């Protein structure tokens, strides 16, 4: 399943990418353009706009304010699996490759460099990622949604 988020869901799009979901996020485009791209690429639309939801039925209307609840709703209702080993670039949706520590020397903080054996690099834009505590925490939270039906 591939996603497209409307303009209201920038944070949601980033987190979906982080758990490995192919997610497009378009800014400053009108509804017609969102629908055109969604249709062309067969993407499931996550939207805060009832009218958009009505016009493009392969979609979910989400009225939650909190990111936690938005994520929980998408994961629960669509039965997504959180794969701890997958992940996409939160900036550009590119796929991540695992790279050895030596390859990122000088490009990440020293403590981070020393405390991780490997890193992830975006194939498209080159951004470097690592499994910091924030990433681990949110993933644990997402797994808890799957197991217990709520975000911990
Ligand atoms: Zn990227």
Domain boundary assignment for the chain: 3-78, 96-148
Ligand 1 geometric centre to CA of 44 (Å): 21
pLDDT at 92 over 60: yes
Average pLDDT, whole number, for the chain?
Answer: 89
Ligand 1 geometric centre to CA of 102 (Å): 20
Nearby residues of 59 by Cβ (< 8 Å), 6 or more positions away: 38, 44, 45, 46, 47, 52, 53
Assign 127 a pLDDT band (cuts: 50, 70, 90).
very high
Q: Which two tokens stand for residue 48?
A: 């805060």
Strand partners, 25: 5
Question: Quick one: pLDDT at residue 105?
Answer: 92
Ligand 1 geometric centre to CA of 138 (Å): 20
Ligand 1 geometric centre to CA of 26 (Å): 15
pLDDT at 139 over 90: no
Ligand 1 geometric centre to CA of 128 (Å): 9
Residues 4, 7, 9, 13: is their CA dihedral positive or negative?
Answer: positive
Question: Quick one: pLDDT at residue 150?
Answer: 61
What is the pTM assigned to this prediction? 0.84
Ligand 1 geometric centre to CA of 118 (Å): 17
Ligand 1 geometric centre to CA of 32 (Å): 26
Ligand 1 geometric centre to CA of 51 (Å): 31
Average pLDDT over residues 87-96: 92
Return the higher-pLDDT residue of 12 and 81. 12
Average pLDDT over residues 1-13: 95
Average pLDDT over residues 20-42: 95
């Amino acid at each position: 399943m591939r996603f497209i988020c409307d303009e209201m869901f920038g944070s949601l799009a980033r987190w979906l990418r982080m758990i490995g979901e192919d997610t497009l996020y378009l800014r400053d485009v009108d509804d017609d353009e969102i629908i055109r791209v969604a249709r062309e690429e067969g993407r499931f639309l996550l939207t805060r706009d009832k009218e958009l939801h009505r016009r493009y039925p392969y979609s979910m209307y989400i009225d939650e304010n909190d990111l936690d609840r938005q994520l929980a709703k998408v994961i629960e209702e669509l039965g997504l699996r959180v794969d701890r080993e997958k992940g996409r670039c939160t900036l550009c949706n590119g796929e991540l490759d695992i790279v050895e520590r030596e390859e990122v020397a000088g490009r990440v903080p020293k403590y981070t460099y020393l405390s991780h054996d490997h890193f992830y690099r975006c194939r498209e834009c080159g951004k470097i990622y690592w499994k910091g505590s924030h990433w681990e925490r949110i993933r644990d939270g997402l797994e808890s949604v799957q197991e217990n039906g709520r975000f911990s």
